Amino acid sequence: MSIILKIEHLSHRYSSSWAVRDLNIEIGQTGIVGLLGSNGAGKSTTMNIICGVLNQTEGKVTVNGFDIREQPEEAKKDIGFLPQTPPLYTDFTIDEYLHYTANLRAMDKTKIKAAVEEVKEKTGIGHFSSRLIKNLSGGYRQRVGIAQALIHKPKLVVLDEPTNGLDPNQLIEARKMIREIAQEHAVLLSSHILSEIRLLCKDVIMIEAGRMVFSDSMDAFDNYLSPSSLLVTLENMPAESALLAIKGVNRVEMLTGKQVRIYFEPGLVINERIVEASLQNNWRLMEISADKTLLDDTFKQLSIQSAN
C-alpha cells in the first residue's frame, strides 16, 4: 500500500499542557479514515499540524513523502483542508471565491477556469456560481468549503467535523459527496460522533486526552467491546418477569409499549433464546438489534486500557 500520510511520534504542547502525545499514523491512497475523539481530545490540533497550520513540538509528518515542516510548499500541494469553520469570504460569489483559492495555491493560471468548473460539478454548486456565499444555506456553504479543499486535486483531503450543524437532508448529501471524494483521494475525517464515523469510515483512529487509544477497522472497533444489551421490538409485549425468565437475562428496561432493552451476561449469545421465547409465547418478535455501547463508555474503557 502506498502511504500518503505518515505521522511519526507526533506530540504538541500548549504552554505546560500536552494536547497531543506520541501519535503514529499511516494512511493510504484512497478511502476514509475516521479520527474519533471527544471534544478536546486533540483532533483539531492533530489536523492543524498535518495541514501545516501549526508547527508541532515533537515528531514528524510527511505528506506524499514531503515533510510538512521542512518542505511545506511541496507537502501542501497534496493537502486539501476543510477546518471545522469553513474559511469562506462571504461577500464573494462562489466563482470569485474558488478562483481566489486556486490562485492562493499557485495553480497554473491556464488550468484554473477548468478546475473551477470541475469542482463545482463535483460538489453540486454550479447552479449557484454567481450567488454571494453569504446568501447560501449552511449545507451549500459546506459544499463550497469542500470545493476549495478539492480544487487543486490533492492526494490527501482533511475534513474537520464536516457534517456539524447540517440538517438531515444535508447530512445525507454531504455523506454521499464524501464517499465519492474518497474514491479518488485519501480522506481523513474527524468527528466526536461515533455514528457519523461508523456510517462513513472503513478504518478508525481514536484519540483521547491527546493519546491514541485505538487504531483498526470500524468492524474491529464495533466488536472490541462485546455488547451486553439488545434492543428488542415485540408486537405483544410480555411482562418484565417473562423476559427475566429467559436464561442469561440480567435486567430489562421498558422503552415503549413495543420496545425493550434487554441486558444479559457479557459474552453470551442470547438472540436465539429471545427468538425461541417469542415463538413459544406469541410475543410476535418484530426486530432485534445490537445496542451499541455508548461512545463515552467506549472512550472510558479504551482510555483505561491504554493507561494500563
Instruction: Report DSSP letters for 72-98, one per residue.
Output: HHHHHTTEEEE-SS----TTSBHHHHH
User: 178 pLDDT exceeds 60?
Assistant: yes
Q: What percent of the chain has pLDDT over 90?
A: 67
Distance from the Cα of residue 184 to its chain's centroid: 18
Mean pLDDT of 271-295: 82
Instruction: Give the per-residue pLDDT at 15.
Output: 87
CA distance 222 to 145: 31
pLDDT band at 300; cut points 50, 70, 90: low
Tens of pLDDT, residues 10-49: 999 998 899 999 999 999 988 999 999 888 889 999 999 9
Instruction: Give the per-residue pLDDT at 169.
Output: 84
What is the set of domains in the chain, with CATH numbers?
5-224 (3.40.50.300), 229-292 (3.30.70.100)
> Greater confidence, 222 or 104?
104
Helical ranges in 105-255 per DSSP H: 109-123, 138-150, 168-181, 194-200, 218-224, 240-244
What CA dihedral angle connects 219, 157, 86 and 163, to 10 degrees? Answer: -20
**CB neighbour list of residue 160: distance below 8 Å, 6 or more residues apart:** 43, 44, 47, 81, 82, 83, 84, 190
User: 290 pLDDT exceeds 70?
Assistant: no
Computed over every residue of the chain, the mean pLDDT equals 89
Instruction: Give the per-residue pLDDT at 223.
Output: 65
pLDDT band at 188; cut points 50, 70, 90: very high
Instruction: Give the per-residue pLDDT at 82.
Output: 95
Other Cβ atoms less than 10 A from the Cβ of 138: the count is 13
Instruction: Give the per-residue pLDDT at 2.
Output: 85
Mean pLDDT of 187-197: 88
* Beta carbons of 157 and 149 less than 8 angstroms apart: yes
Instruction: Give the per-residue pLDDT at 155.
Output: 96
Window from 4-8, 259-263, 269-273, 301-305 with minimum mean pLDDT: 301-305
Instruction: Give the per-residue pLDDT at 8.
Output: 97
Distance from the Cα of residue 169 to its chain's centroid: 18
Tens of pLDDT, residues 212-259: 988 998 878 766 655 578 889 999 999 999 999 999 998 899 999 999
Distances (CA, A) of 239 to 76, 233, 242, 245: 62, 14, 5, 10
| Opening angle at CA 215, ends 210 and 218, nearest 5 | 125
Window from 33-42, 52-61, 73-82, 91-100 with minimum mean pLDDT: 33-42
User: 308 pLDDT exceeds 80?
Assistant: no
Amino acid identity of residue 62, one-letter, is T
